[in-house]
Structure 1
Amino acid sequence: MALPLPLPRRAGRRTNVGLLGLLLLAGGTGVLAFAVGSPGPARLVVAAHGAAGLGLLLLVPWKAVVVRRSWRRPAGTRGTGGVSLGVATLLTLLTGVLHAGGGTGPWSWSAGIPVLHVHVAVGVATGALVLVHAWGRRQRPRATDLDRRGLLRAGALGAGAVALWGAGEGLLRLTGAPGAERRATGSFERGTDDPAAMPVTQWISDVVPDSPATVLELVGTGRRVRVPVADLDRGDVVRAVLDCTGGWYAVQDWRGVRLDRLLAEHLGGELPADGSVDVVSVTGFQRRLPLSEAGGLLLATHAAGRPLSPGHGAPVRLVAPGRRGFWWVKWVERVEVVDAPWWLQSPFPLK
């Protein structure tokens, strides 16, 4: 009887290094995609995220060989961590593809849960399993991982992943699938010029307050001024895209008062040239933005000519063009000028 050909000893390591690299790239770009709102950078980040995820499929044949070899070990020494990681990775990839293609609806899956939320949740679990699995194997980086041959393999894997992603995008456009219409960030349109059709979503534990603020407090330059919310509709209009990290976006004509105009009128004085502005919600949710951007920020009381609804931030919310939805603070009750860099905060709200 012919004996099976021996498997290369380093094949398993090379495959695992490739898988680890793609998983790290997919995870990193997935997090970054939530932070980038400008179409150009967002397109690159989302493309890299999709290519890294689909690139995992290219390593399946080699990983299958590694798995078969591991099952030849004596029972009790095989471990089950790899199986859990494989299942989690497969679910992450599947939900990502479902979202990109439109799934059973561009923004919902089952029981009203956005498929993107499922993708993120399973992706976080996958990341945790990757750390456990890598630590359990106790493999450390080697110089040969970055030698000429290793870099050529990495380049070939990257090119194959990009080609696979490009083929998928082309297929969506060829078939006219909903995914072909998604924004550069990966979000689907819902509720443009119709605020009532926009989903009502909050960041993590933030909830619609029972008693929204009726007065806006402005703090800075040694002053503290209280402005009735009813006086904030000054007719300033900004047409901007609200791009939610829940996987949807909507374009509206937002009306209210420009932040720079409001600050100059009520605070006056000399504002710090490199300062920032804290926008705080009645719920405690807050974001810090560069004061230099105040001319492009709007405190909105209306959308598409209609007063904001409670779920969308009534009576006043921040409009921050070019930034993702979690920057658009709802139910604003205080705006404070601070002499501190805007980036000195958590990249994502912790509330």
Structure 2
Amino acid sequence: MDRRPTALLRRARDAVEPPARLVDWSLFAIVVFEAVSGLVSFTVGSASWWPLFWAHRVAGVTFVALLGFKLARVRHRVTDRRQWRPSTGLSVLTTIAAVGALATGTAWVFGLDVRLSYWTLLSVHVGFGLVLVPLVVAHLSTRFRLPRRRDFDRRRTSLKYAGLLVSGAVVYRGQEFANRVLDSSGADRRFTGSQPREGDGNGAFPVTSWVADDPDPVDTDEWTLDVAGATGSDLEFTYDGIAPDAEREALLDCTSGWYTVQRWRGLRVGDLLESAGAAADARYVRFVSVTGYRWSLPIDEARDALLATHVDDERLTHGHGAPARLVAPGRRGFQWVKWVERIEVRRRGDPAQWVVTLVSGFE
């Protein structure tokens, strides 16, 4: 049997593979970075944040190579039953979560758009990623080994990692080029990874709810919109008393992986603040849903926002936030509060809103 190809492959791998302990810690570092950058990416929607999304994807490609090195090194521990340990099951679960995150992320960027029950592939990708963090920590603790001094051959190690990162960037750019050549749906993604939803009005884009934020339809005869807080006078509007005379086109980018550009109509928040006499030292405006869900915007940003009652001349449906929803250009979809019933002018921010995003809607 000719062993030369095998020897050549081994030498090629040795030329690019970092020391084993550095590979293990690099995998841990990338998992943490991917989790943090992924969560932060949910909160930003302006194009100036594109480097964050770019770094997230390049790190993901680099993770593939490092995971390959790791699996090639330890595969015998799974294939040889004599080497099974109590920690073997944990290792297998960690591998499944890692492969699941990579597979769903790859399928998404190539434009595959399928739903698994209520979730898009992007949502499943996020789920795998969140599960992977504690699994990697637990797995690393079973074989805790700090890198040795000889693992840090500065020139050689630096060149290997530079090569991995550059290769990751090249592969990522190649994927974008392939999407354009193949004219796949992945070519239409925004920098956030979201895919387009075309059309006008309520039927043009999906109905989604953040966590459990999904109330029964709001009775417009009973509903009122209150403007209160640091104001000269409080205001109250009934549904029939609203004159939706402000209009703007805005892009809604949902964290479940789609975006749509629609023409929204309703009340300009700046006009409401002026009518209520917002205090000169007010700094934030908080929008509160009938579910208790809430989000705040800096007051200057809030002045330019819209409280929409219509989308493309259609009254908003319940699923899209009727009677009124916040339209906040440059913000992600979960910050476009639905079913708004109260607008509060505040002198201070509201850090507790992050907790409310996770618990509102649960009974």
- Report the TM range for the smaller structure's normalisation: 0.7 to 0.9
> Is residue 93 from structure 1 mapped to residue 93 from structure 2 by the alignment?
no
- Residue 166 of structure 1, aligned match among 151, 167, 173: 173
For 1:270, the equivalent position in structure 2 comes to 279
Aligned-residue CA RMSD in angstroms? 2.8
Give the Å deviation of 1:269.
Answer: 5.3
Cα-to-partner distance string for 1:196-232 (whole Å, 9 max, x where unaligned): 1211101000003333462101112364321223333
Give the Å deviation of 1:233.
Answer: 2.9
Structure 1 residues 62 and 76 mapped into 2: Cα distance closer, same or farther (>3 Å)? closer
Q: Which moved more, 1:242-251 or 1:341-350?
A: 341-350
Structure 1 residues 145 and 30 mapped into 2: Cα distance closer, same or farther (>3 Å)? farther
> Is residue 295 from structure 1 mapped to residue 303 from structure 2 by the alignment?
yes
SS at match of 1:237: strand
Structure 1 residues 205 and 99 mapped into 2: Cα distance closer, same or farther (>3 Å)? same
Give the Å deviation of 1:122.
Answer: 1.5
SS at match of 1:133: helix
CA distance in 2, matches of 1:269, 1:177: 49
- Residue 29 of structure 1, aligned match among 10, 15, 37: 37
Give the Å deviation of 1:158.
Answer: 1.5
- Residue 255 of structure 2, aligned match among 245, 248, 270: 245
- Kindly indicate whether the alpha-carbon contact (under 8 Å) linking 1:34 and 1:324 is maintained by their aligned counterparts in 2: yes
CA distance in 2, matches of 1:259, 1:192: 26
For 2:320, the equivalent position in structure 1 comes to 312
CA distance in 2, matches of 1:141, 1:59: 16
- Residue 164 of structure 2, aligned match among 152, 157, 178: 157
For 1:199, the equivalent position in structure 2 comes to 206
SS at match of 2:358: coil
Structure 1 residues 272 and 230 mapped into 2: Cα distance closer, same or farther (>3 Å)? farther
CA distance in 1, matches of 2:103, 2:355: 28
For 1:336, the equivalent position in structure 2 comes to 344
SS at match of 2:234: strand
For 1:224, the equivalent position in structure 2 comes to 234
Give the Å deviation of 1:69.
Answer: 6.1
Give the Å deviation of 1:77.
Answer: 3.9
Give the Å deviation of 1:279.
Answer: 0.4
- Residue 132 of structure 2, aligned match among 111, 126, 131: 126
Structure 1 residues 325 and 146 mapped into 2: Cα distance closer, same or farther (>3 Å)? farther
SS at match of 1:35: coil
Give the Å deviation of 1:344.
Answer: 6.5
- Residue 187 of structure 2, aligned match among 172, 180, 188: 180
* Unpaired stretches in structure 2, ≥5 consecutive residues: 1-6
Identity of aligned residues (%): 36
SS at match of 2:119: coil
Cα-to-partner distance string for 1:259-286 (whole Å, 9 max, x where unaligned): 1111111x2153325x111100011111
For 2:245, the equivalent position in structure 1 comes to 235
* Unpaired stretches in structure 1, ≥5 consecutive residues: none
- Kindly indicate whether the alpha-carbon contact (under 8 Å) linking 1:233 and 1:300 is maintained by their aligned counterparts in 2: no
- Kindly indicate whether the alpha-carbon contact (under 8 Å) linking 1:51 and 1:162 is maintained by their aligned counterparts in 2: yes
Cα-to-partner distance string for 1:14-65 (whole Å, 9 max, x where unaligned): 2212222322222222112211101231x32222222111222222442234
SS at match of 1:256: strand
- Residue 113 of structure 1, aligned match among 116, 119, 142: 119
SS at match of 2:264: strand
SS at match of 1:211: coil
Q: Which moved more, 1:111-120 or 1:288-297?
A: 111-120
Q: Which moved more, 1:179-188 or 1:138-147?
A: 138-147
Q: Residue type matched to 2:341 in 1?
A: E
The aligned length equals 341
CA distance in 1, matches of 2:340, 2:147: 49
CA distance in 2, matches of 1:230, 1:140: 67
SS at match of 1:336: strand
